[in-house]
Amino acid sequence: MRTQVAIIGGGPSGLLLSQLLHRKGIDTVVLERKTRDYVLGRIRAGVLETGFVDLMREAGVAERMDAECIIHDGTVIAFGEKQFRIDFREATGESVVIYGQTELTRDLYDAREAVGGKIVFNVEDVVIHGADTDAPHLTYSVDGAEKRIDCEFVAGCDGFHGVSRQTIPLNVRREYEKVYPFGWLGLLSDTPPVHEELIYSNSERGFALCSQRSWTRSRYYIQCSLSDHVEDWTDQMFWNELRRRLPQDVAERLVTGKSIEKSIAPLRSFVTEPMRWGRLFLCGDAAHIVPPTGAKGLNTAASDIHYLYHGLLQYYEEGDSEGIDRYSEKALARIWKAERFSWSTTNLLHRFPDQNGFDLKMQKADIDFLRENREAQSVFAQNYVGLPF
């Protein structure tokens, strides 16, 4: 098989790139390790920056999102019983969009399939060959049969545990990492959200987040220990713990119900540099991870796809390689700022096992400053709605 851009990974990054390039007549093949249903079963992001929404529109896949999404103009931060709101719209003129990663991935799969886009599921043993030459190729197997794709470029969109990043030699690659001493236990339920906007809560029992997918579907998270097992958390235990971590008036309004999904995610900050090696380009979680506190994971993937898409267009339409040559530099400049915001909101809102009295006073002073200072709120809002691409 031959294609122009071989894409490893059929998550949101890979599918969005494939759909954008298809609209410009550039041929792609997507290789996905799992099945479509498995990918759609992963409950992840829920908050989109307008930059992401614009890319979905450019890809021609925003119809359902535009009809069903919820616009949020601000968010609530709680510290113990004290609550305040940061008004994104007033501070930046922009909002964020609530639309689940599951839904937008489904829209992307539907769009690719509607035009006969090539997606190969259940691939195993993907190996990238000759990424540092002008003629790379991939080998992989499906149902035990060996396959090969020749291509002009490879997009590594295969997430944190993929093979693309590992293909870049160790003497070229530098990795930066911070692992946090806790995880997030998430619960999805068909219950009305406790509040019309998100509530990020720093309580003495640890962090909690009230999020949502629609007017009837809620997503809640609580900070948990890394040694916790999801099977040990009954729904009732989850709801009881969540209530204890919310201001009283919020806890009293909480509507509970049976969970649809529960899972634990560890928290990590991670960046690999460079994001390009020869004709291989890393995008999204394959290159960087943020702790979810700032809702930046999927949104940083979107800026990578923006830079790579425009770089490839410039190459194919104008014969100019400036965009792809500067891909890593442009993508990383924005990513490090999102890393900083995600790291700082994580530090601001969680209780750390080794936190002493002084550390807690610093955290409280930071939150007080944010509550009282409009410029500080504006800085938070600019980061939350997303820095320009």
Candidates 22, 72, 262, 306; catalytic one: 72
Sign of CA dihedral 32, 278, 287, 175: positive
Q: Please give the residues from 207 up to 236 whose contact with ligand RFL meets the rule CB under 6 A.
A: none
Closest CA relative to residue 14, chosen from 45, 51, 59, 50: 59
What residue type is assigned to position 61 of the chain? V
Number of residues near ligand PHB (by CB under 6 A): 11
Q: Does the annotation count 266 as an active-site position?
A: no
By CB under 6 A, residue 291 contacts ligand RFL: no
Distance, CA of 355 to CA of 243 (rounded, Å): 23
Q: Binds 220, which of ligand RFL, ligand PHB, none (CB < 5 to 8 A, cut-off by type)?
A: none
Q: Please give the residues from 188 up to 207 whose contact with ligand PHB meets the rule CB under 6 A.
A: 198
By CB under 6 A, residue 46 contacts ligand PHB: yes
By CB under 6 A, residue 297 contacts ligand RFL: yes
221/233 with CB nearer ligand PHB: 221
Contacts with 123 (C-beta within 8 Å, 6 or more apart), sequence order: 31, 32, 33, 140, 141, 142
Q: Which whole-number Å values give the CA distances from 148 to 4, 31, 139, 280, in the listed order? A: 14, 11, 4, 16
Q: Binds 331, which of ligand RFL, ligand PHB, none (CB < 5 to 8 A, cut-off by type)?
A: none
By CB under 6 A, residue 74 contacts ligand PHB: no
Q: Applying CB under 6 A, which of residues 292, 311, 323, 386 lies at the interface with ligand PHB?
A: 292
For strands 153-156 and 280-282, give the pairing: parallel
Q: Does the annotation count 384 as an active-site position?
A: yes
108/254 with CB nearer ligand RFL: 108
By CB under 6 A, residue 186 contacts ligand RFL: yes
By CB under 6 A, residue 219 contacts ligand PHB: yes
Q: Binds 193, which of ligand RFL, ligand PHB, none (CB < 5 to 8 A, cut-off by type)?
A: none
Closest CA relative to residue 196, chosen from 175, 220, 178, 214: 214
Closest CA relative to residue 187, chosen from 216, 230, 229: 230
28/346 with CB nearer ligand PHB: 346
By CB under 6 A, residue 295 contacts ligand RFL: yes
> Could you say which DSSP state residue 351 is in?
P
For strands 174-189 and 218-224, give the pairing: antiparallel
Candidates 292, 306, 307, 315; catalytic one: 292
Q: Does the annotation count 296 as an active-site position?
A: yes
Q: What are phi and psi of 355, to 5 degrees?
A: -70, 125
Q: Please give the residues from 238 up to 277 whose contact with ligand RFL meets the rule CB under 6 A.
A: 265
Q: Is 31 helix (H, G, I), strand (E, B) or coil?
A: strand
Q: Applying CB under 6 A, which of residues 20, 47, 208, 290 lies at the interface with ligand PHB?
A: 47
In what helix (H) or strand (E) does residue 39 lie, and over which residues does it extend? helix 36-41
By CB under 6 A, residue 33 contacts ligand RFL: yes
Tokens of 301: 């993937």
Helices (H) and strands (E) in the chain, counts: 14, 20
Does the bond joining 274 to the residue before it have cis omega, within 30 degrees of 0? Answer: yes
Catalytic (active-site) positions: 72, 200, 292, 296, 384
Interface residues toward ligand RFL, by CB under 6 A = 8-14, 31-34, 39, 44-47, 101, 123, 126, 157-159, 161-163, 184, 186, 265, 284-285, 292, 295-299, 301
Interface residues toward ligand PHB, by CB under 6 A = 45-47, 198, 209, 211, 219, 292-295
